[in-house]
Structure 1
């Protein structure tokens, strides 16, 4: 494929930190590249260097003759003029109105924005969508996007993914995108770049392929490291056999042992979101009973909603922007009062709410990270051990240097992590999370999901990140803009189908159309939120058979896990025997294929078993 853009031995240092250290890479026509890495590793800097916005200290950025590059930066730069001027400049309407691709961009991003509205009157999210639309209507060969999914709801993210895949499906340019949205990375990208420690590792495939490839690479590195450690121990034992003997030993052996010791690789930054204690939760948790919530302008966000939350319930909440998702959390936390109806709380309920913004940390701006945590609690029990605030923040990814950093000097991702940490040390039993993925990198998100997997309390998550929702929540509900809270047995995909049906029926992206689709679905007999479906299900005999099948599959999966662990141990022990390693690897692949088939069978059986 034709080469469009490249970096050759690029080096860049900001302050005392080296963000890019001799980085060389290329972008070819038809590639869709996702960029991941820890917060602060240099992802946005890499995009600015590639797009020509920032010059490297050394090395060079090359582009094929005539290649045009468009960059969506994280900073909002659109303030003057109208939406129409920002998107189309002074072009005549007839030049773009007949273009199907441009009309699609208008429908996907600007359906709720009038073209003659001044940019200064728009919200931050609307300005962000206008800036994205202004790039998508152009014909640049390389499109560089920094967090394009910010301020997009689930529906908007799905539209953008579909648009980008269609636009770059057969070449005609290339895409480079930084995002924390793992579903988006899998849906769009064909390659993944991981930025860390001044270097860029390159992987084939989207996020899932990247995670698998990185795990395999780490496993190989661990095998090599085990061999190196064994050799190092042997060399150290040899050196310690006494001074008289050492004088007669060849100098090159001493140099080799010293090189082994000096070559000890530094550990990668790790993030251990430990499971903290949780206060006991009784039978009664939170109930919304006939709740109506009306805004001062008369708009009804919730209309006679009843929703009962029990201990251990795990709900994801999706919906159109402005439908009342954050208001719903405010009602559950007690920060808002319903216009009518009531919110009933159990006696043992201890609610913690992670808000969408990080302004709640402003009052702690003069404290460092440890002091901010100590404001909540000085010690906390984790895994049966008592940890001080200083020990806990270090385990949750703050180095000793960053743990003493003032809150006002933290990055967005660090502030988000501190918010979550302060919530957890208070030992709540109900967690309300409003867009928890904002500003977090993919490794931190994986750690957060690992924490939430084991969360024993009640969990309510509002998010546009469907990867997170499908991973940590058992059920999804939707606010479709008609004041009703709808159950989604089919998850996020069912929500998108409802939205598509509503838009098709109305021919426009109005909220009223969504209400019409929801009403039609309700009239068709769809269950209300929290109410089981009444459709006829499997017979008792089929349920019993399915449950036995689930148990059988689970036993076999446990056996496969044990066999895989044994094979990995044998591969490490025979790492120098290429023939043996090849045979063991074939066995591993066969087990992986069997596991995949069993997991699909388990899903089918579990659905029948209930």
Structure 2
């Protein structure tokens, strides 16, 4: 494979921080590299250095002569008066690209909802980013550097991009290389075959791993295990050396210098304590039987133009676009829903209905008497009003102390457990990064002990370690949870059920999860007319309908069956050992074999019952 780009011994310091130290990397044809690491570690900086947009303090970046490089930065700059077509194809004539199937596929995947002649200045930030990405893909550079390309893409857009990049760089004999910085772990696994981890621990190191996100996590866990064993060995040596050094003045004065040097080296090599990324599990207020119900709810957006008013006339003569058309959706205690949908389909409006910030145009929203709702918004603008305070002060204003696992913690200790260093915990909120603001607002909400939690794109600005900690928190959270996200990994991890908004006024149940949603979108409405209801109507699905009570009972059945299957496996193993030990006693072997057959029959029956319960539980 041809070599395309190399970084040789690059180093970079910003103020007193070392971001990169003597880093050497290389890219060959067919490479698909994902870049991960904590927020602020230097991932984007590394990408900009590789792309020639920033210069390192030392070292150099070389490119093979004639190779072209394209980069998607986090900043989207567009010329004044430029149109979508200008940014994607420049001055090229239509006939030069319109006949190219690859270009048409890019238009369909990235620009289907945009007017190609529209000025870029009229587009939203997310639309501009899609235009910039489409332009890069159409240009087809030899080295493609992407910084957070999945931001502002919905689940369907992320899936299309992953398939496009995997096809381009993954086929046999592929030319070109890809480097992508992203927190989207599903995307990393779907696209990347190598991973670079920018440590961000002050060492300036970048570690390389084979495989995508899952392989990287496994390899990192093994590295941590080996490091822990080495640290334990070093600590034992350190204790011996220090004990030997402190045996009295007379003994110390006669110690050989090489022993003193050995102890000093051990002490100097002691690593700094890791910043904890443990997220605190909060107690939730008691939930009653009734939580939140949308009953026959209709929401109509006012028309933006007279033409839209005529085209989208709502039932009953109302003019405008119908977001929700007589939807009934019931949320029970402990329900965990993920929400996916096309842009503009009403995902954020759905959350506004649940919080009570917006009333439906018809129908009603029933709220349980004991519910306490908290919502993490996309922009986290709620922190603007406390920008002059420190992170610790913000939490103290909500609640000075909270008891966790029988221990009373202060606001400072809570922020520390959420991954804030002491320096960042006492920094002004207005100076915090996007990821830090999101973590702080989440903690601010949770100390209030809500029992209904609504999360609107919670993964924005969070690194992969923080996302794993967030998922760990949500795994054990006992309240009702609704998550709106394009992060497929998060949805499949924390939500028990998923629903889709397809822009047709309905909330559709997705027994098959995100894959079913993508199939519905590909089917362009062929599967959208399937019948069935969930929770009293309004949620459509082609799958059988089950009540919440039936679903909870099925999950209990699954847990009981899995426990019994584990016991059967242990009993079978013991019987095999007994048979081996009594191999010459034919009568005993016969009895043991009969017991094995009995267990096998029970195991088969349990596995069938498990499958039936799994169908009900979804």
Number of the residue aligned with 1:47:
47
| TM-score for the superposition, normalised by structure 1 | 0.86
Partner of 1:577: none
Structure 1 residue corresponding to 2:564, chosen from 531, 544, 552: 552
1:520 matched to 2:529? The reply is: yes
1:557 and 1:45, CA in 2 relative to 1: closer, same or farther beyond 3 A?
A: farther
- For residues 539-593 of structure 1, give each alpha carbon's deviation from its aligned partner in whole angstroms, at most 9, with x where no partner exists: xxx999987752234448999xxxxxxxxxxxxxxxxxxxxxxxxxxxxxxxxxx
Q: Which runs of 5+ in 1 are unaligned?
A: 503-515, 537-541, 560-600
Shift of 1:139: 2.4
1:302 aligns with 2:324: yes
Quote how far apart the aligned CAs of 1:530 are: 8.8
Whether contact under 8 Å (1:9, 1:60) holds in the other structure is: yes
The answer as to 2:188 corresponding to 1:185 is yes
**Structure 2 residue aligned with 1:534:** 544
In 1, Cα distance between equivalents of 2:291 and 2:77: 45
Cα distance in 1 for partners of 2:568, 2:207 equals: 36
2:157 is equivalent to residue 156 of structure 1: yes
- Which residue is equivalent to 1:567? none
Structure with bigger gyration radius:
2
- C-alpha contact (below 8 Å) 1:480/1:518 kept by paired residues: no
Cα pair 1:83 1:115 within 8 Å, conserved: yes
User: 2:285 aligned to 256, 279, 302, which one?
Assistant: 279
Write out aligned runs for 1:33-432 (5 A): 33-80=33-80, 81-169=82-170, 170=172, 171-196=174-199, 197=201, 198-297=204-303, 298-432=320-454
Q: Confirm or deny: 8 A CA contact 1:10 1:56 kept in the other structure.
A: yes
Task: Classify 1:602/1:404 alpha carbon distance in 2 versus 1 (closer, same or farther; 3 Å).
Answer: farther
2:532–2:544 Cα contact (<8 Å) kept: no
Q: 1:281 to 1:532 in 2, by over 3 A?
A: farther
CA drift of 1:533 comes to: 4.5
Q: Determine the structure 2 residue equivalent to 1:451.
A: 473
Matched residue SS, 2:531: helix
> Is the CA contact 2:335–2:481 (under 8 Å) kept in the aligned structure 1?
yes
How far residue 188 of structure 1 moved from its aligned partner, in angstroms, is 0.1
> Among 470, 476, 483, which residue is 1:461 paired with?
483
Query: Deviation of residue 296 (structure 1)?
Result: 1.6
8 Å CA contact 1:13–1:57 kept in 2: the answer is: yes
Q: What does residue 584 of structure 2 align with?
A: none
Q: Counterpart in 1 of 2:306?
A: none
**For residues 604 and 318 of structure 1, do their structure 2 counterparts lie closer, same or farther at Cα, with a shift above 3 Å needed?**
farther
Q: CA 1:328–1:609 in 2, change beyond 3 Å: closer, same or farther?
A: same
Name the structure 2 match of 1:573.
Answer: none
RMSD: 2.6
Partner of residue 592, structure 2: none
Residue correspondences, number: 552
Write the distance in 1 (CA, Å) between the matches of 2:88 and 2:467: 33
What runs of 5+ residues in structure 2 fail to find an aligned partner? 304-319, 547-553, 572-604
Q: 2: CA distance between counterparts of 1:427 and 1:302?
A: 31
Structure 1: how far apart are the matches of 2:380 and 2:214? 30
Q: Comparing 189-198 with 200-209, which one deviates more in the overlay?
A: 189-198
Contact 2:33 2:180 in 1 (8 A): yes
Deviation per CA, 1:126-179, whole angstroms, max 9, x where unpaired? 111001001000121000000000000000000000000001113210000000
Question: Does residue 1:489 correspond to 2:511, yes or no?
Answer: yes
Partners of 2:519 and 2:428 in 1: how far apart?
46
Contact 1:546 1:608 in 2 (8 A): no
Compute the displacement of 1:524 (Å): 12
SS in 2 for 1:137: helix
The answer on whether the counterparts of 1:36 and 1:193 sit within 8 Å (CA) in structure 2 is yes
2:606, 2:146 → 1: CA distance?
39
Distance of aligned partners of 1:530 and 1:389 in 2 relative to their CA distance in 1, 3 Å threshold: farther
CA contact (8 A) 1:108 1:159 kept: yes
Shift of 1:236: 1.8
Report the CA distance shift for 1:410/1:605 in structure 2 as closer, same or farther (over 3 A). Answer: farther
The alignment partner of 1:150 has SS state of: coil
Return the alpha-carbon distance in structure 2 between the equivalents of residues 454 and 99 of structure 1.
51
Q: Report deviation, 1:208.
A: 0.2
Query: What TM-score do the two structures reach when normalised by structure 2?
Result: 0.85
Question: What is the CA–CA distance in structure 1 between the aligned matches of 2:556 and 2:132, rounded to whole Å?
Answer: 56
Equivalent residue, structure 2, for 1:20? 20
